[in-house]
Each structure stands twice: as C-alpha cells, then as structure tokens.
Amino acid sequence: MNFKMYADIIIPDTKTDFFTYRLKDEHISEITPGRVVVVPFKNKKVKGVVYRTKKECELQLPEIKWVEEILPEDISTLPTLIKLAEWISQYYFSPLSETIKLFFPPKTLERETKEYRLRQQNIESKDPLIQYFKKRYPRWISLKTVLNNFGEAARRKLEKLVRGGIIEEREKIYTRKEKEFRVYPVTTRSIPHNPTPAQKEVLRKFKEKISHKPSTFLLFGATGSGKTMVYSWIMKEFVESGMSVIVLVPEISLTPQITDFFLRIFGDMVTFYHSALSDAERRWIFTRVRKGEKRVIVGPRSALFLPAPQLGLIVVDEEHDTSYKEEERTPCYNARDVAVFYGNLLNIPVILGSATPSLESFYNATAARKYTLLELKERIPGYSNPTIEIIDMKEEKAPAGISIHLLDEIKKTIESNKQVMLFLNRRGFSPYLICRDCGYIMKCPHCSVGLVYHKKEGVLKCHLCGYKAKIPDICLKCGSPNLKLMGVGTQKVEEVIKNLFSNIQIARMDVDAVSKKGMVPRIYEDFYHGKLKILVGTKMLGKGFDFPNLGLVGVINADIGLGMPDFRAEERSFQLLYQVAGRIRKGGKVIIQTHNPESRAISTIKKFDYRAFVLNELADRKKYGYPPYRRLTSIEIEGRDLNKVIEFSQTIFNLLEKSKKQEVELLGPASCPREKIRNKYRYRILLKYKKYENLNATLRVLKEIKIPTNFTLKVNVDPLDLM
C-alpha cells in the first residue's frame, strides 16, 4: 500500500481523549474501532483502544509513533460500543480515557500481561535466566513470574533477549471460567406457561409497536403483576432468533426470582456478571459474550458495557433504582439513560420496568410521549393489595422504637403461623451518641456525620469512611460524663425482638449481617421455608424477595428518608414504602410508624396507588422547576482546606456566570449537606436548565481552566445524590 494510515488510540488514565499513532501496512486490514493495541507512550509500552482510523494527520511524521501490536479479537470491544463511549464522554463531560475503562473488565487494560519462552530449547548458555526458561520449555512464563524470581532488572534483560531473537513474547489475557452461580433452591415455584389476559395485552402492544419502530418502553407493573415473566416471554423471541439480550438488575444477590427464572428458561445461554466475580472470571465472561456463546447477560450496571454482538433488546429492571447511577467517579453516568441511548443507536427496543417508576421515566412515558407506556395494573392470581395502617408515633408509647400496637400485631401474626418482616433503613445499634448536658452529638473526625454505635464490636463507626472509635468516657465538647445512646438501628430492633420472642428464629439482613459470602441466599432460604419467623433488615429487604407466607410488614421508622434535604425525598420514601409493602402477597398487613403522617408519601401510600402519588408530585416539580421539567447538573469541588475550597468554588462560579446561557440558572456555591467526607470539604454549584445544549455551552469554559492539583472538580450530569 502506498498511502499512510493513522489511528487515534484511547489510552486509559491520561486525562486526554486520544493520541494519534501510525499504522503498519500489515495492521491496516485488521484494525477496527474497539481493538486493543500496544503502543509506546512516555518511554513505556502501554495498552490502548482504537478509537478510529484516518488517512490524514496534523502531526509531523517524526513525532508520530507506530502502533506496535494488535491484541487478539477476544479481548476487544465492538465498534458500536466505541460510539457509545463517545456519547458518554460528551454527555457526562468525561474524557474518553476515563470512559473507556467501563467497557473492559478490571485491569484488562492496565495489567502487564506479557509472557515469554525460548524460541528453541537447544540453546547453550550459562545465563541463569536462559537456564530457567530452558528447564520450562515449551511452557510460556508470565512476566510477573519472571520478575518475582529475578527481580525488576530482568525486565530489560528480557527485552534484550526478545530483540536478539532468543526469546519470544506474546500477550496473554488470563481468564477463568466462572464458578457456578449460587442459585436459590426455590425451584418449587413453577414457571407460568401462559400469560394472563393483562400480560397478553402488554405483549401484543409491545409487538405491535416494534413492528413499526423500535422504541423505549416503560413497563409500569405493580409488584406481583408478573413483570419478570413478561420480560422472559419477550426475551425468548430475541434469543431464539440468534440475538443477545442484556438485562440490568440493581443487585443480583437480591433478585433471586429473576436469576432462578432466567436460569431455568435460558439455561447455558445465561451469564451473571456481578461484583462477586474475580477479574479473571469477568474476563472469561467478556470473551464468551464477545463470541456470542452467552446471549442472555444479566447483571448490575457494568453488564451494559459487555460486547454483545447482535444485541436485540435491553431490559432495565427496577429502573428507578439509584444504584444505576455512578456518583463517585467520572463519568457519573446513569446506566438506565445510557441504555436508552444505546437502544436508539442500535435501533433496538429498550424496556424500563418498575412498580414505582422514577418521575423522569413516568413523565417520559406519559405527558412527554418519549417512551411507550405498557401497564400491568393488576396483580396476578394469588396476590392482592395489603391493608396499610399508619401509626402516628407522636401519640404512641414506643420504648425501643416499636409501638405497643406493632408488637401486638407481630405476636398475632406469629401465633397464626405467618411470618414478619421488620424494615428499618438504618443499620447499626444506635445512630447517635449524645451528651445530655450540652446536646453535642459525637461526630466522625473525618466526616460531617454522626457516629453510629455497633453493639457487637462495641464501637462507634462512621458509615461514610469506616472510622472506628471506642465510646468516650466524657463528652468531647463539655467534658460531662453524662452520655446517652439515642435512636434505633436494625441491630437494636433485632435485640429487642429477640428478647421478646425468645423461642422463635429471628435474623437480620443488612450490609453488616451479610458481609460474608452466601449469607443472603442462606437467610432467604431459611425464611422461604419457614425456619425463620421474623426478618429484620434495611432496604435490602425491599428489592425482589417474594415469600408466600409473609403476614406482616412493619416499617419501624418511615421518617428517615423524608428528613433528607433533597427534592426527591418524598419520591424515594414513597418508592421504598411501596416496594416494602409489596412484599405481601395476599391478605397481609403493613404497619407504618411515623411522626409525619401528613406527608405526601405517607398519606398516599395507604391507597397503594403510585399513579396518584406521582401526579401530585409532578405538579410540585413543575411549580418549582425541578426534574423532569427542568434538568440539573451538579459541579462538586473538593479539597482539604475549607477556605480554599470556598474561594475556588467562587472562582468557578464567577467563570460560569460569565459564560452561562440565558436560561441556565446558577445556584451556589454552597456546602454539600455532607460538608466533609474523608477530610475533604465539599462545595457544590448547581445548574438548572431545560436544554442540554445550553448546559454544554455554559460548561465549555471549564475545559480552558487548569484545576490545581489540590482540588478535584467533578461534573455530575442528572445527579441523583445531592447529599
């Protein structure tokens, strides 16, 4: 070939979108967007991902280096996913070099994966390194093993031997077949063969719509309306015609029904891509998906980025769940919204499912007419709405946070041989240690939150940074010895209940109780089969558990979420209460303890009517200009020196004020409600706007400034966490 070809290569962690390299003739036919390559970078060889190829290059030839090697196709991603990466980068203001990391299993692009062996065994040499290889011929030895045995100096020696043609090298990505997924042995449940009339209607509407044009659907279905089966029937058609399907779930271990059903329906086709897998297991799944051997891909948000060829459908279950949103690292993407864009890019349908859709999705599927609404109003036979009773705690005696009335109901339920779930979204024993004399609440020295007492370990813990401390003898502020533990966490509820019901089995399910692997399935099983009578837990209980013999759900304190300084507080509280109440199948009761019976979430939960709640809430959002009517982006500035953080935030604010488009409202800078986390002070500027282009134009100015190294500046588009 007599023309020159170049490739733009994305190199992780460089804070730059891409670097341009020249292509050797023999590489030109093989190179496609998404291929992983080895390139020289700052005197090192690093891995990068091909962004695009081109025939022109602005740089002068001597400056430009060559792509040295193309790695096997197994570990490459697909060109369409590079397009998706490009969109995420632009929409969420994150360089490609950060975004690209979402698309590969951990360490695939970072770790040193070379391995070596002698070209011929019959070489004569006294060199210990060559002797070492000779003994092991024809096995390949990894770089890591060589360095472990011979030290860091062996690296250069190896390179020399490779150049001299004595040793050959190759790139090897280690994979390991995943350990079998632990299935909940609740396979007694039969899989329904025929849809109910309501489900049939939904299936018909779906087919009718996609026969004209694929689109995004909101499957709005009450808990117990059979959403999982509707997904399965739809998925089956895609899988049988040779296509792949991705199903996102908030957390696999908490959605036993989906995993159980999918395994039984799709067998070997299914793969679960989840956080308990090792890196090598993740890479194994990656390669199987890439080859089209695994075509039903189930997992949390990271599963969306697996290279599924012939993708035909994306399902996002529990689409309102906040775990789909990355809030810590850039890109701060929402997997649900990325899924919708991905669907449009591929021209395939996307189904967002929920019993309590986010206000954004509900609005998009109704007034805004962006999505198609599919509604399953009725619960399937064997399910009916629970009776909901609200207890005003202002008028109740409740020594340990549990009213006499709720205790009575627990007793009655147990006596009638039914089971009880007690829900409290606060782990630990007591959330406050307070001084009775001056009112001071013990705080974490590194974060601006109170310390929570954990009784078993006998320590105060910070739930944000993990800091631990013994209970002090005296108040840190006034020196008084008059300290008192206040408030109730799941551990305390468990203890109180255990003391009152000493002859029955009780368990707790929260992050602390199930940190050991396999605990969730064990508790699930024991509760399912009736060995456990009472289960105390956090919102982990609300996700996807379905127990036939559950007679009572008690919500210990419905006010925790309501008190958050966040415009979504009512929405979240309602969703949580609805999900927890939805655990009841038939003829059961839900008792909600609250100090705010008049709040919207609590006064409307009684009717178990999500639509009614949403319509009222949307009216407020419209009035005050919040999503979905106007959009939000949060700019978060962090640093160790409070005054400098304030000063720098003000500088950024002033810059934005000058560059901002007219409709953009700038709010702040103000300290975040959690002002300090891990010794870093946090300030926020909020942008409110209607048109994304205006945000884009306003934030362009950020690209021109250099962020001093002692600050971090994070752009969070469509944030869900404003704490």
Between CA 549 and CA 682 the distance in angstroms is 47
CB of 439 to Zn ion, least distance (A): 7
Q: Which residue, 357 or 428, has its beta carbon nearer to Zn ion?
A: 428
CB of 348 to Zn ion, least distance (A): 44
CB of 477 to Zn ion, least distance (A): 5
Q: Which residue, 137 or 440, has its beta carbon nearer to Zn ion?
A: 440
DSSP secondary structure code for residue 560 in this structure: H
Q: Which residue, 52 or 446, has its beta carbon nearer to Zn ion?
A: 446
Please list, in sequence order, all residues whose beta carbon lies within 8 angstroms of the beta carbon of residue 30, skipping any fewer than 6 positions away: 70
Between CA 366 and CA 610 the distance in angstroms is 14
- Rounded to 10 degrees, what is the CA torsion of 178, 179, 181, 184? 180
CB of 435 to Zn ion, least distance (A): 3
Is the bond preceding 192 in cis, omega lying within 30 degrees of 0? no
CB of 410 to Zn ion, least distance (A): 11
CB of 679 to Zn ion, least distance (A): 9
Q: Which residue, 396 or 566, has its beta carbon nearer to Zn ion?
A: 396
Residue 451: other Cβ atoms inside 10 A: 25
Q: Which residue, 67 or 410, has its beta carbon nearer to Zn ion?
A: 410
SS (H, E, C) 465-503: CCCEECCCCCCCCCCCCCEEEECCCHHHHHHHHHHHCCC
CB of 674 to Zn ion, least distance (A): 10
CB of 468 to Zn ion, least distance (A): 10
CB of 383 to Zn ion, least distance (A): 22
Please answer whether residues 658 and 694 qualify as being in contact, where contact means their C-beta atoms are separated by less than 8 angstroms: no
The site for Zn ion (CB under 5 A) is made up of 389, 435, 437-438, 440, 444, 446-447, 462, 464-465, 467, 475, 477-478, 480
With both helix axes pointing from N to C terminus, report the angle between 128-136 and 143-150 in degrees, rounded to the nearest 10.
140
The SS3 of residue 426 is coil
CB of 503 to Zn ion, least distance (A): 23
Radius of gyration of the chain (CA): 29
CB of 460 to Zn ion, least distance (A): 10
Q: Which residue, 460 or 475, has its beta carbon nearer to Zn ion?
A: 475
Q: Which residue, 235 or 444, has its beta carbon nearer to Zn ion?
A: 444
Between CA 521 and CA 250 the distance in angstroms is 16
Is the bond preceding 669 in cis, omega lying within 30 degrees of 0? yes
Q: Tell me the residue ranges of DSSP E strands in 556-644.
A: 589-594, 631-639
Q: Which residue, 201 or 389, has its beta carbon nearer to Zn ion?
A: 389
CB of 299 to Zn ion, least distance (A): 30
Residue 283: other Cβ atoms inside 10 A: 22
Q: Which residue, 56 or 328, has its beta carbon nearer to Zn ion?
A: 328
Identify the H or E element spanning 344: helix 335-346
Is the bond preceding 431 in cis, omega lying within 30 degrees of 0? no
**Beta-carbon-side half-sphere exposure of residue 384 (alpha carbons within 13 Å):** 7
Closest CA to 19 of 79, 96, 109: 96
Q: Which residue, 10 or 462, has its beta carbon nearer to Zn ion?
A: 462
CB of 580 to Zn ion, least distance (A): 17
Q: Which residue, 37 or 451, has its beta carbon nearer to Zn ion?
A: 451
Q: How far is CA 444 from CA 57, 453, 461, 466, 487, in A?
A: 54, 12, 8, 9, 17
CB of 391 to Zn ion, least distance (A): 8
Q: Which residue, 375 or 437, has its beta carbon nearer to Zn ion?
A: 437
Between CA 446 and CA 252 the distance in angstroms is 33
Q: Which residue, 275 or 480, has its beta carbon nearer to Zn ion?
A: 480
Please answer whether residues 279 and 176 qualify as being in contact, where contact means their C-beta atoms are separated by less than 8 angstroms: no
Between CA 316 and CA 328 the distance in angstroms is 21
Q: Which residue, 258 or 407, has its beta carbon nearer to Zn ion?
A: 407
Q: How far is CA 619 from CA 107, 294, 335, in A?
A: 47, 45, 27
Bridge partners (DSSP) listed for residue 632: 688
Please answer whether residues 481 and 490 qualify as being in contact, where contact means their C-beta atoms are separated by less than 8 angstroms: no
Please list, in sequence order, all residues whose beta carbon lies within 8 angstroms of the beta carbon of residue 207, skipping any fewer than 6 positions away: none
Between CA 626 and CA 164 the distance in angstroms is 66
Q: How far is CA 615 from CA 198, 349, 373, in A?
A: 23, 27, 15
